Amino acid sequence: MPTKKDVVGVLRNLSGKLFEDENWTGTFEDYLQLVQENPKVARTAYQRMYDMIMSHGTETIKTSSGISTRYNFFNNSEIGGHDTVYGLNNAIMKLIHVFKSAARQYGAEKRVILLHGPVGSSKSTIVRLLKKGIEAYSRTKDGALYSFSWNIPNEPHPVPCPMHEEPLKLIPLDFRKEIIDEMNKQFPEENKIKIAGGLCPVCRYNFKLLLKENHGDWKKVLDNITIHRLILSEEDRIGIGTFQPKDEKNQDSTELTGDINYRKIAEYGSDSDPRAFNFDGEFNVANRGVIEFIEVLKLDVAFLYDLLSASQEHKIKPKKFAQTDIDEVIIGHTNEPEYKRLQNNEFMEALRDRTIKIDIPYITRLDDEIKIYKKDYPENTIGSKHIAPHTLTIASMWAILTRLEQPKKAQLTLMQKLKLYNGKSLPGFTEDTIKELKKEAPKEGMKGISPRYIQDKISNALVADVDENCLNPFMVLNELEDGLVHHSLISNEDERKHYKELLNVVKTEYEDIVKNEVQRAISADEDSITKLCTNYIDNVKAYTQKEKVKNKYTGEDEEPNERLMRSIEDKIDIPESRKDDFRREIMNYIGALAVEGKTFNYKTNERLQKALELKLFEDQKDTIKLTSLVSRVVDKETQEKIDVVKKRLVDNYGYCEVCSTDVLNFVASIFARGDIQQQQL
C-alpha cells in the first residue's frame, strides 16, 4: 500500500508534467517540426471539434428505427457531469454528420448550425457539452494546438496574438502555398494541412514593423516569434465565446467584433491603430474554438450581417479595420416560435439560406426519459425521503404521452404506441409498424411537456409534506395535475384537457403494474408454484399422449384434469381452439430440453411462468383476504400472511415499510371495488 509520502510525490510529478506540457514554448522552427510530426496540431476548428467527439468512441445500437450510432461523448460523465444527454441519437447523428462535412470542408463549415426545438429539449445542454469537451480536449496530447507571441524591441513583455491565430499564418501568402505543399507531400489526404486567411490587424502591424527593421527578410521576422501551447478556456475567454441577446437599446455589434480602447488613442495617436483596439468581441474570443449564440433568432438585424459574414466568408469586420479572418464553429439554438418568426421574415432570407437546422425534439422513448430523473435522484432516495417504485416511471410515462401524436391505426392506443417505441413487443405489431408510426408523425416530440416541468413537480412533491417519509406516484401525479392550471406554455383549454385525460391513462397503467407486482409477491412461494407446475405438466403429458393420470391420494387412474389445465391457460388468453397446440408446444419444449440433457424449469418459459403465478394468486387471494385491509380489521393469521407479502415487496421490489403498506392498501381497494362490481352484476 503506497504511503502518504509516495502519493504526494506522484501528485507533484503529475502536476509538474502537466504544467510543463501546457506551458510549452518554442521557436517557429520548433513548431514546424511539431507539425511535420503531427499535422493535426494545425487543424481547423471544425476538424478539431469532430476529432474531439470521435476520440470518445462510438457504439452501434439497434433501435425501433433501425441501426443507429451512439456517440459516447454525449453520455460521458467525466466531461458532461450533470449534462449527460439521453435518447437523442438520431438528432445527434445529424449534428455529427454536419461536423464531419465541415471538417472535410464540403461546405457545411460555411453555415450556421442551428439547434431547433421546444424548451427544455437539451439544445443548450448539447452546446454546453461541446464547449466543455473542446476545452478538455485542448489539454490532451491529441488535442494540442498552438499560437504565438511577438518579441517586439523596446516592449518589456512578449505581445501575444489577441486572436490566438494559427502560427502557420505567419508564412506570407506569396510563399505559403509552396511551403505548405512541400509539407503535405508526406501526409495522407485526410491529414493534409490547409491554411486559409491572413493575420489579425495587430499581428499584421507587428509583422510589417519587424519586416521593415529586418529590411524585408521575413525569415528574420520569424526569429522574433515565440510559439506557445494554447489551452482553450471559457472562463479565461480563450477559444470559447458565448453571446446572448440583450435589450435592443443596449445591443451593440462591437460585442461581437471588439471596440476601440479610447484610453490608448492618446498613447498611439490614432483610433485606427490596431494597438488601440480591444479584440475582445465574442467572435475574436472564440477564434480557433467555438461560439455559442443563445436564442440566436432574437438577434437584432444589425447583428445578422456580422453573423452572415462570419459563417459564409469566415471573416468579421472590426470597427476601423479591414475584414479579419476567423476560424471557429458557429452554433446557435432557438425554439419554435422564434423559428417561425424567421420563416415569416423576408429580411432574414439570407440567414435562412446560410443555416443548417437540426431538430432537437423531446425524448419519445420511456427508458431514456426515466434516465433523466434517475440522474437527479440516483439512489431512489432524497435525504431521508424514499421514492417509491414506479414513481419516476409514471411521471416519465405521462411526459412521453403528452409528446406523442395520436396513432392513425384505430386499434392502437397511445399507451400501446409508447410501449412499442420503448421496445416492447405487442401481438400484431412488428418493427415495420413502428417505422410507419414514426413516418406518419414526423414532428413528434416537438410539442408536449418538458422534463423541466416534471423535475419541478417532483421537487414540489418532495417538500409538500415534510412529515411524509416516502414519495409515491400519486403524490407526483397530483402535483402534475395541479400545475397544469397555471402552466404558462399550454396555449389552449383543449390541450390542458388532453393532458388531464392522459393523467388518467397513466393512473390506469399504474394500477395494472402494482396489481401485477402484488400478485407476484403473493404467489412468490416457489414450492407452491413448482407443485402446481408439476401437476399441470403431468396432466398435459397424459392429455397429449392419451393416457390416464394417477391420483396421488387414492392411487386410482383418472382422466386428465381439464378444469385445472384450462384454469391455468386462461390466465394467458389461450383460447379453447388453441389449447391443443399450446399443450403440444409445451411438451415439445420439454422434449427438446431432455435431448440436450437439460431439466425443464417453469422459469425458462415466460408465458407458462406468468400463467402459473396468476393461477396461484387467484387461489391464494381469498385465503389471504387482502380486501380486508380496506376495513382495517385483520385477523392474526391473515396479518401474518400479509406481513410475508410486504416483506417480499421490500426485499424484491424496492419498497419501504411505508410504501409497501400503501401499495397493498391500494391494490386491496382495487379488488374490493371489483368484488362490489361483481356483486352488482
Q: What is the pLDDT of residues 185-210, one digit of tens each?
A: 999 888 899 998 999 999 999 999 99
Q: Please compute the mean of the pLDDT values over residues 144-148 and round it to a whole number.
A: 96
Supply the pLDDT for residue 262.
87
Percent of the chain scored above 70 by pLDDT?
A: 91
Q: Please compute the mean of the pLDDT values over residues 270-288 and round it to a whole number.
A: 91
Percent of the chain scored above 90 by pLDDT?
A: 42
Supply the pLDDT for residue 676.
39
d(CA 647, CA 653) in angstroms, rounded, equals: 10
CB-based contacts of 156: which residues, under 8 Å, 6+ apart? none
Supply the pLDDT for residue 382.
73
Predicted structure pTM score: 0.83
E strand or H helix at 262: helix 262-268
Residue 389 pLDDT grade (very low, low, confident, very high; cuts 50, 70, 90): very high
Supply the pLDDT for residue 7.
52
In b/e form, how buried is each residue of 491-513, taking b as 16+ CB within 10 angstroms? eeeebeeebeebbebbeebbeeb
How are strands ordered across the β-sheet holding 329-334? Answer: 240-243, 290-294, 329-334, 112-116, 355-359
Supply the pLDDT for residue 311.
92
Burial class (CB in 10 A: 0-12, 13-18, 19+), 228: buried
Q: Is the pLDDT of residue 23 over 70?
A: yes
Q: Is the pLDDT of residue 333 over 70?
A: yes
Of the listed ranges 131-140, 215-224, 425-434, the one predicted with least confidence: 425-434
Q: Please compute the mean of the pLDDT values over residues 494-522 and round it to a whole number.
A: 90
Residue 677 pLDDT grade (very low, low, confident, very high; cuts 50, 70, 90): very low
Closest to 370 (Cα-Cα) out of 406, 403, 413, 399:
399
Q: Please compute the mean of the pLDDT values over residues 478-501 and round it to a whole number.
A: 87
Widest Cα–Cα separation across the chain: 120
* Residue of higher predicted confidence among 347 and 365: 365
Q: Is the pLDDT of residue 12 over 80?
A: no
Supply the pLDDT for residue 667.
85
d(CA 458, CA 370) in angstroms, rounded, equals: 13
d(CA 45, CA 105) in angstroms, rounded, equals: 11
Q: Please compute the mean of the pLDDT values over residues 371-396 and round it to a whole number.
A: 86
* Residue of higher predicted confidence among 303 and 448: 448
CA distances, 422 to each of 67, 73, 122, 364, 450 (Å): 15, 23, 20, 8, 18
d(CA 121, CA 629) in angstroms, rounded, equals: 44
Supply the pLDDT for residue 99.
97
Q: Is the pLDDT of residue 680 over 50?
A: no
Of the listed ranges 343-347, 366-370, 543-547, 606-610, the one predicted with least confidence: 343-347
Q: Please compute the mean of the pLDDT values over residues 550-568 and round it to a whole number.
A: 84
Q: CA triplet 397, 398, 404: central angle to 5 degrees?
A: 90
Q: Is the pLDDT of residue 343 over 80?
A: no
